[in-house]
């Protein structure tokens, strides 16, 4: 009996430990291919060159255009999702009644369950043609439409995490504000939002991390032309799209082109890893505050 208990515990431990192996595997895979990549390309030119043309005859390996593409789509997405998501969170918490909340929240969650290729289709075939009527110079592939649709997609991330944060604020604070004659709006922005600020910040950071790693939507709608620009009207290429683009082609294993996707991958990983850890750190401080 006791040995079988030990064996079972060992197996359970093993299952949990596999997650460590996954992390180690990711880091090892990315690092080993990237080290090989940097034996042929200097880190300096990778970080500072303003062109990314590894698949062309004249090869340039500057990551900046891809980073700019990712930055642009992410910034547009957050510009859409943050005001809308945060307003929804405040509205549901401070204004709406419980039954309205009970209906709307699961409906909003549907936005998060739709596969991202589907959003890509929507951006390309509905949003871009619509925007082209308003903005004449808009290209068929562009960061604007992809970013806006991505913004819609991550609304529920911001709204539900922020709502959790706001509803975790002790009721007594709200009542105190009302007691001094504040309107709901003054209570919301003067008391509740500041008190929940760290939780809201966490939701924003996680949304950014999600937007940075988003792949299919931008691969479909934002284009595959790496360029160092902040112009949202022209085709660009994000880090994730580049990896997809290379994966779709016939790039031989072990070639420099093959290694570029790992160099891009590790850049992407570093960004999201940093964002996630910042959010943990904030969350931890925040929990301590309320305990």
Partner 1 sequence: MTNSDRNRLKDKAFQVFGVFCTFIGLAVLAIFLIDILIDGLGRINWEFLNNLPSRRAHRAGIYTAWIGTLWILLLTTVIAFPLGISAGIYLEEYAKKSRMATILEINIANLAGVPSIIYGLLGLEIFVRLMALGGSLLAGALTLSLLILPIVIVTTREAIKAVPRSIREGSFALGASKWQTVWHQVLPASFGGILTGVILAMSRAVGEAAPLIVIGALAYVPFAPASPMDEFTVLPIQIFNWISRPQAAFATNAAAAIIVLLLITFILNGIAVYLRHKWQKRIKW
Per CB under 8 A, contacts with partner 1 among 149-168 are 152, 155-156
**Judged by CB under 8 A, how many residues of this single chain contact partner 1?**
83
Q: Do 173 and 129 form a contact (C-beta atoms < 8 A)?
A: no
Residues in contact with partner 1, shown as a per-residue x/- string from 65 to 84 under the rule CB under 8 A = ------------------xx
Nearer to partner 1, 231 or 285 (CB): 285
- Least distance to partner 1 from the beta carbon of 37, Å? 13
Nearer to partner 1, 18 or 47 (CB): 18
Is 90 near partner 1 (CB under 8 A)?
yes
Sequence-ordered list of residues with C-beta below 8 angstroms from that of 275, at least 6 positions apart, any chain = 205, 206, 208, 209, 212
Nearer to partner 1, 15 or 44 (CB): 15
Residues in contact with partner 1, shown as a per-residue x/- string from 214 to 233 under the rule CB under 8 A = xxx--xx-------------
Per CB under 8 A, contacts with partner 1 among 197-216 are 206, 209, 212-216
Sequence-ordered list of residues with C-beta below 8 angstroms from that of 1, at least 6 positions apart, any chain = none
- Least distance to partner 1 from the beta carbon of 231, Å? 23
Is 244 near partner 1 (CB under 8 A)?
yes
> From the DSSP assignment, how many helices (H) and strands (E) are in the chain?
14, 0
Closest to 288 in 3D by CA, of 171, 280, 174: 280
Sequence-ordered list of residues with C-beta below 8 angstroms from that of 77, at least 6 positions apart, any chain = 147, 148, 150, 151, 153, 154, 207, 211, 214
The Cα 44–Cα 262 span in angstroms is 17
């Amino acid at each position: 009996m006791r040995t079988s208990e030990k064996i079972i515990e060992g197996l359970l431990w093993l299952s949990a430990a596999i997650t460590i192996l996954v992390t180690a595997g990711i880091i090892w895979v990315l690092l080993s291919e990237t080290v090989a990549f940097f034996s042929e390309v200097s880190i300096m030119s990778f970080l500072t060159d303003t062109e990314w043309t590894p698949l062309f005859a004249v090869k340039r390996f500057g990551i900046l255009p891809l980073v700019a593409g990712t930055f642009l789509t992410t910034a547009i997405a957050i510009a859409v999702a943050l005001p809308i998501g945060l307003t929804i969170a405040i509205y549901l918490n401070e204004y709406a009644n419980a039954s309205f909340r009970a209906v709307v929240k699961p409906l909003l969650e549907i936005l998060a369950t739709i596969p991202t290729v589907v959003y890509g289709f929507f951006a390309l075939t509905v949003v871009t043609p619509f925007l082209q009527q308003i903005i004449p110079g808009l290209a068929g592939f562009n960061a604007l439409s992809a970013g806006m649709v991505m913004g819609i997609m991550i609304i529920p991330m911001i709204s539900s995490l922020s709502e959790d944060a706001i509803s975790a604020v002790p009721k007594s604070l709200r009542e105190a504000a009302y007691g001094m004659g504040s309107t709901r709006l003054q209570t919301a922005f003067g008391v509740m939002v500041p008190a929940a600020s760290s939780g809201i910040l966490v939701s924003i950071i996680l949304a950014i991390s999600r937007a940075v790693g988003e792949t299919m939507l931008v691969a479909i709608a934002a284009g595959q032309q790496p360029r160092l620009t902040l112009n949202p009207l022209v085709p660009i290429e994000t880090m994730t799209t580049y990896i997809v683009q290379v994966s779709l082609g016939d790039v031989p294993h072990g070639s420099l082109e093959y290694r570029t996707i790992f160099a891009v991958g590790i850049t992407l990983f570093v960004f999201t890893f940093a964002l996630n850890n910042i959010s943990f750190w904030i969350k931890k401080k925040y929990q301590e505050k309320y305990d």
